[in-house]
Amino acid sequence: MLKNKNVIVTGAGGGIGLATVNKIAENGGNVWACTRTKTEQFEQDLQNIANQYGVWIKAVYFDMTNESQMKTAIKEISLEKRSIDVLVNAAGTVYNGMFTMTSISKLKEVFEVNYFEQIYIMQLVARLMMRQKKGSIVNVASVSGIETTEGKLAYGSSKAALIYASKTISKELAQYNIRVNALAPGLTDTKMNKEIPDADLQKVLDRSSMKRMANPEEIANAIVFLASDQSSFMTGQVMVVDGGRLWS
């Protein structure tokens, strides 16, 4: 579905991001895999994936809270003179805490990564896509940005803001043949969710029709669909992939 497409993936160091890199490659796409920290394991993982599927994958390093690093990275990508067909915003951070125990500084910290810097990288990449008159942007949000849950003020609010931004930006970029969609995963079996207390985890699973967490690969499959031309008439949408989460 992504044969010969060139894709930027943020948050590629693990979890949904790395699974997305793998799925893009499996579907014939090339990847700029963006993460904060360089490790031998990450470099080896990318090389193994590239060799397996016969595509190119390049590691790109920057901190999502450092706009200067981000700007430099996107500029270096643009200097390769390749089309940037897709941006997948999979980077994010999580924080759980009750409203009265959530400091404003922590709230700002979560929004910095989950919202403000997502907007900034979209601005940088969209300007390049506008010259091409084509592109697809997929923002990984969360069901926490749709349904309210105690203790999710910071995280849920930041994801709700990202969902709103995705819809608004989709209207502005449609004239350039750039689609913008959001994905709202439910609980996914990643490192980010390992610290959830068993009792809290079970409460969420009990509200799910499928009674389990998603595998990162299942979320990555949905991302690939939104990124590809298979969803060519979709923009400004929020795709929920949550195993049938029930709120009634």
* Assigned fold of 6-241: Rossmann fold (3.40.50)
Predicted local distance difference test score (pLDDT) of residue 194? 66
Residues 39-61: tens digit of each pLDDT: 999 999 999 999 999 999 999 99
Q: Confidence band (pLDDT; 50, 70, 90) for 140?
A: very high
Predicted local distance difference test score (pLDDT) of residue 203? 76
Predicted local distance difference test score (pLDDT) of residue 129? 98
Percent of the chain with pLDDT over 70: 96
Sheet holding 135-140, edge to edge: 57-61, 30-35, 6-10, 86-89, 135-140, 178-185, 238-241
**Alpha-carbon 237 to chain mean position:** 15
Predicted local distance difference test score (pLDDT) of residue 247? 58
Predicted local distance difference test score (pLDDT) of residue 151? 86
Residues 165-206: tens digit of each pLDDT: 999 999 999 999 999 999 999 988 887 766 666 777 777 777
Contacts of 41 (CB under 8 A, 6+ apart): none
Catalytic residue selected from 61, 95, 120, 155: 155
Predicted local distance difference test score (pLDDT) of residue 34? 98
Backbone angles phi, psi at 138, to 5 degrees: -120, 120
Percent of the chain with pLDDT over 90: 80
Cα first-last separation, the chain: 37
Q: Give, in degrees to the nearest 5, the angle at Cα 37 between 33 and 38.
A: 75
Separation in Å, CA 233 to CA 186, 201, 225: 24, 36, 12
Determine whether 155 is an active site residue: yes
Predicted local distance difference test score (pLDDT) of residue 115? 97
* Residue 129 host element (H or E): helix 117-132
d(CA 83, CA 8): 11
Domain assignments of the chain as residue spans, ordered by start = 6-241
Predicted local distance difference test score (pLDDT) of residue 248? 47
As a whole number, mean pLDDT of residues 144-148 equals: 90
Residues 72-126: tens digit of each pLDDT: 999 999 999 999 999 999 999 988 899 999 999 999 999 999 999 999 999 999 9
